[in-house]
């Protein structure tokens, strides 16, 4: 197991959102977290990236506890998050934005090597290198955010609703890029409102309800579970 | 555009290097000295405020510390007028940089508008200290610096070229920072400090280092001006108008750019000095200066350099998108090839 969460309790302003959450991730898998609003989907990602501290429980990544670690220490361990809202620096160029993803790397040659690898995976990075990020479309920005996330060659990538606000054509590009990241061996933890699309790209599914795991299993099992279908897919899957 | 900016800067520096050889009149070189020294101030201000987005209106805190440092060094060590005090200008800059460490540690706990207000407050605290610590600063009587024994025709030259050397250093440091990983981190702070931190940038340390570098140049500017005028008083050393002038120069030329603050300082300081000489008796200079600034703010809100670059980009884009008539497509292609070859050859 690459990640293990055991009885995690976390929340905001005195109230608990995650109420004893336990789950684990296998290396190289893509897990899609689904659940109703307020179930704690995004909170899980905030805990894993160090933006929110746990009140109880343990989070073990690659055999190391994440307790008390800062966001940059967690980045160094190999966990990166692509947040829900667009997070590029709008007035900086595409290349500058992507380079910033490898900010923790001290070796400049390694940064250039990673940049080259990322350019191969996301040709847009090279094509629009000197363009300011503000001039890109929503989908292009998302792709550049993916590219930036890969600069540290992370083990675990946290994606918070990457499809939000995108048209179907762009959505396909985004999911294709996720598949490309899977192919190079990255472990992905995905939160997705578009449940069907999220589970179709994932290998595993995790259903959250009121801060606890209600169901987990292979993505296909979750997708075709009648109860889940009636709750989150409009009752169409039987 | 970065290349164009570097070329513009190089042309400006070469022009400034030969300027006194063409215009040797002492009143002209005196104006030129102030223009160049304010360019150093604007470039230094830009390293912190321009790159991080933390607009400081307390830059005179560090120029004042530099001015008093040089005055006290000369007074305590009985240094005579001449070239020796120039060496201590750098020491004054270093003292200002060290002074920026505790000041920055306090004021950088704030952001945005609060930061601006805190910098202004810090300036007035320093001015009050300078007035009241009479045993150290001489109070309202100030401190007199040694007067060089150079002749009237030559007097401005060492100051002018001293300021120009500082400008070359300030431009080089700005360029190096802008093209470094450190500079990239500062720009990320300007865009979104929280996001920058989430990428692993140590924002507190970066801001502090940028402030110290910026304070170094402020210190050298204060020291140079005090040596040039041979006096240092609390009101002049910690002058809020100095802060406003430097910030305006940077915004006028293009804040956060390499060449902008320098162009802004050279134009505005020259204009201000000229207007003061021509119209100061009736106060018209201030009205004209203020009016001009309003016009620039309305017409070039981003400053001269970014506005010019945008204009060039627009012209290029419209030129590239001009449709080629199908009947003459072949000849147009060959014409383009000829132009390209001509350019290359």
Q: In angstroms, what separates the C-alpha of A183 from chain B's closest C-alpha?
A: 25
Residue B1's pLDDT is what? Answer: 61
- Count residue pairs from A and B with Cβ separation < 8 A: 42
| B289 within a domain of the structure (yes/no) | yes
- Distances, alpha carbon B252 to alpha carbons A131, B79, B249, B256, in Å: 25, 39, 5, 11
Query: Is residue A39 over pLDDT 50?
Result: yes
Comparing CB atoms, the residue among A87, A92, A104 nearest residue B200 is: A104
Comparing CB atoms, the residue among A72, A76, A96 nearest residue B184 is: A96
The model's pLDDT over B22-45, given as tens digits with 9 standing for 90+, comes to 988 888 899 999 999 999 999 999
| B267 within a domain of the structure (yes/no) | yes
Comparing CB atoms, the residue among B191, B192, B201 nearest residue A103 is: B201
Q: In angstroms, what separates the C-alpha of B188 from chain A's closest C-alpha?
A: 7
| B164 within a domain of the structure (yes/no) | yes
Report the side by side order of strands in the sheet with A3-12. A15-25, A3-12, A56-61, A64-65
CA B73 to mean position of chain CA atoms: 25
B204-235 burial, b at 16+ Cβ within 10 Å, e below that, comes to eebbbbbbbbbbbbbbbbbbbbbbbeebbbbe
Determine the residue among A71, A77, A103, A135 to mutate to test chain B binding: the one whose Cβ has the most chain B Cβ atoms within 10 Å: A103
Contacts of B51 in chain A (CB under 8 A): none
**Bridge partner residues of A217 (DSSP):** A205
Comparing CB atoms, the residue among B185, B195, B197 nearest residue A87 is: B195
Residue B229's pLDDT is what? Answer: 92
Comparing CB atoms, the residue among B191, B197, B202 nearest residue A90 is: B191
Helix B203-229 to helix B181-191 angle (10° resolution) is 100
Q: What is the C-alpha separation between A193 and B5, in angstroms, rounded? A: 46
Read off the pLDDT band of B197 (50, 70, 90). Answer: confident
Average pLDDT over residues B91-99: 96
Q: Quick check: B189 and B69 in contact, CB under 8 A? A: no
Which of A67-81, A126-140, B93-107, B257-271 holds the top average pLDDT? B93-107
For chain A, what is the domain count?
Answer: 1
What CATH number corresponds to the domain at position A105?
3.40.50.300
Residue B326's pLDDT is what? Answer: 46
Residue B342's pLDDT is what? Answer: 41
Average pLDDT over residues A149-159: 91
A92–B187: do the CB atoms touch at under 8 Å?
yes
Query: Is residue B107 over pLDDT 80?
Result: yes
| B242 within a domain of the structure (yes/no) | yes
Token pair 């994606």 in the structure block, residue: A159
Query: What is the pLDDT of chain B when averaged over all its residues?
Result: 85
The model's pLDDT over A201-227, given as tens digits with 9 standing for 90+, comes to 899 999 998 889 988 899 898 888 887
For B192, which residue in chain A has the nearest alpha carbon? Answer: A89
The model's pLDDT over B282-340, given as tens digits with 9 standing for 90+, comes to 667 777 777 777 877 788 778 888 888 878 877 777 776 655 454 444 444 444 434 34
Determine the residue among B53, B184, B192, B199 to mutate to test chain A binding: the one whose Cβ has the most chain A Cβ atoms within 10 Å: B199
| B41 within a domain of the structure (yes/no) | yes
| A17 within a domain of the structure (yes/no) | yes
Range of the domain at A168: 3-232
Q: What is the C-alpha separation between A199 and A216, in angstroms, rounded? A: 12
For B193, which residue in chain A has the nearest alpha carbon? Answer: A89
Q: Which residues of A touch B (CB under 8 A)?
A: 49, 51, 71-72, 75-76, 81, 87, 89-92, 96, 99-101, 103-104, 108
Contacts of A108 in chain B (CB under 8 A): 181
Q: How far apart are the first and last CA of chain A?
A: 32
For A85, which residue in chain B has the nearest alpha carbon? Answer: B195
Tokens standing for residue B69: 């440092």
Comparing CB atoms, the residue among B196, B200, B202 nearest residue A75 is: B200
Residue B323's pLDDT is what? Answer: 54
Q: Quick check: A122 and A27 in contact, CB under 8 A? A: no
Contacts of A90 in chain B (CB under 8 A): 191
Phi, psi of B337 (to 5 degrees): -60, -40
For chain B, what is the domain count?
Answer: 1
Contacts of B199 in chain A (CB under 8 A): 75, 100-101, 103-104
B188 lies within 8 A of chain A by CB: yes
Read off the pLDDT band of B46 (50, 70, 90). Answer: very high
Listed residue (B208, B213, B242, B210) closest to B225, CA to CA: B242
| A171 within a domain of the structure (yes/no) | yes
B188–A51: do the CB atoms touch at under 8 Å?
no
| A76 within a domain of the structure (yes/no) | yes
B199–A100: do the CB atoms touch at under 8 Å?
yes
| B304 within a domain of the structure (yes/no) | yes
Comparing CB atoms, the residue among B185, B191, B192 nearest residue A103 is: B185
A104–B195: do the CB atoms touch at under 8 Å?
no
Tell me the ipTM for this assembly.
0.77
| B324 within a domain of the structure (yes/no) | no
A75–B185: do the CB atoms touch at under 8 Å?
no
What CATH number corresponds to the domain at position B203?
1.10.3470
CA A222 to mean position of chain CA atoms: 19
Average pLDDT over residues A183-188: 90
Range of the domain at B91: 2-314
For B203, which residue in chain A has the nearest alpha carbon? Answer: A72
- Distances, alpha carbon B105 to alpha carbons B15, B45, B101, B284, in Å: 40, 18, 6, 42
Contacts of B202 in chain A (CB under 8 A): 72
For B201, which residue in chain A has the nearest alpha carbon? Answer: A103
Look at A55-59, A159-163, B209-213, B215-219 and tell me which has the smallest mean pLDDT.
A159-163
| A237 within a domain of the structure (yes/no) | no
Residue B302's pLDDT is what? Answer: 81
For B196, which residue in chain A has the nearest alpha carbon? Answer: A100
User: In chain A, which ranges are continuous DSSP H helix?
Assistant: 41-48, 71-77, 94-101, 108-121, 123-127, 138-150, 168-183, 195-201, 219-224, 226-232
In the 8-state DSSP scheme, what is residue B48? Answer: I
| A48 within a domain of the structure (yes/no) | yes
| B7 within a domain of the structure (yes/no) | yes
A51–B198: do the CB atoms touch at under 8 Å?
yes
CA B55 to mean position of chain CA atoms: 13
Residue B93's pLDDT is what? Answer: 96
């Amino acid at each position: 197991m690459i990640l293990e969460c055991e009885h995690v309790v976390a929340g905001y302003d005195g109230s608990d959102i995650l109420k004893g959450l336990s789950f684990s991730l296998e290396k190289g898998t893509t897990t899609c977290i689904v659940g109703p609003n307020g179930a704690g989907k995004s909170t899980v990602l905030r805990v894993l990236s160090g933006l929110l501290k746990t009140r109880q429980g343990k989070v073990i990544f690659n055999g190391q506890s994440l307790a008390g670690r800062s966001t940059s220490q967690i980045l160094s361990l190999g966990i990166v998050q692509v947040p829900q809202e667009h997070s590029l620096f709008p007035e900086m160029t595409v290349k500058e934005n992507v380079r910033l993803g490898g900010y923790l790397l001290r070796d400049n040659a390694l940064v250039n090597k990673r940049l080259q690898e990322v350019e191969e995976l996301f040709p847009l990075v090279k094509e629009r290198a000197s363009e300011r990020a503000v001039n890109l479309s929503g989908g292009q920005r998302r792709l550049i955010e993916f590219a930036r996330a890969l600069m540290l060659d992370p083990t675990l990538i946290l994606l918070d609703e990457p499809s939000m606000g995108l048209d179907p054509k762009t959505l396909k590009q985004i999911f294709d890029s996720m598949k490309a990241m899977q192919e190079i061996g990255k472990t992905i933890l995905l939160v997705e409102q578009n449940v069907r699309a999220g589970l179709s790209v994932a290998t595993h599914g995790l259903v959250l309800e009121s801060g606890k795991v209600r169901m987990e299993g292979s993505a296909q099992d979750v997708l075709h579970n009648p109860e889940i279908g009636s709750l989150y897919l409009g009752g169409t899957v039987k | 555009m970065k290349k164009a900016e570097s070329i513009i800067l190089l042309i400006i520096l070469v022009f400034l290097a030969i300027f006194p050889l063409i215009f040797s009149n002492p009143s002209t070189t005196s104006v030129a000295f102030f223009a160049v020294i304010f360019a150093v101030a604007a470039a230094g201000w830009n390293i912190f405020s321009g790159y991080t987005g933390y607009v400081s209106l307390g830059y005179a805190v560090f120029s004042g510390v530099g001015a008093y440092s040089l005055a006290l060094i000369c007074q305590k060590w009985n240094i005579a007028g001449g070239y020796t005090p120039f060496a201590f200008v750098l020491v004054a800059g270093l003292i200002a940089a060290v002074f920026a460490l505790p000041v920055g540690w306090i004021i950088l706990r704030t952001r945005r508008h609060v930061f601006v207000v805190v910098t202004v407050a810090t300036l007035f605290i320093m001015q009050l200290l300078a007035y009241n610590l009479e045993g150290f600063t001489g109070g309202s009587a100030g401190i007199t610096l040694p007067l060089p024994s150079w002749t009237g025709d030559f007097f401005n030259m060492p100051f002018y070229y001293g300021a120009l050397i500082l400008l070359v250093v300030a431009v080089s440091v700005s360029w190096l920072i802008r093209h470094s990983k450190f500079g990239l981190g500062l720009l990320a702070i300007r865009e979104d400090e929280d996001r920058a931190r989430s990428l692993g940038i140590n924002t507190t340390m970066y801001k502090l280092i940028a402030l110290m570098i910026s304070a170094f140049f402020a210190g050298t500017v204060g020291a140079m001006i005090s040596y040039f005028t041979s006096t240092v008083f609390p009101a002049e050393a910690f002058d809020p108008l100095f802060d406003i002038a430097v910030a305006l120069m940077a915004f006028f030329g293009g804040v956060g750019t390499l060449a902008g603050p320098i162009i802004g300082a050279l134009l505005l300081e020259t204009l201000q000095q000229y207007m003061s000489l021509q119209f100061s008796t009736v106060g018209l200079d201030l009205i004209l200066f203020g009016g001009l600034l309003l016009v620039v703010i309305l017409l070039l809100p981003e400053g001269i350099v970014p506005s010019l670059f945008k204009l060039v980009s627009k012209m290029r884009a419209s030129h590239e998108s001009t449709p080629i008539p199908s009947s003459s497509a072949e000849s147009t292609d060959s014409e383009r090839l000829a132009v390209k070859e001509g350019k290359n050859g």
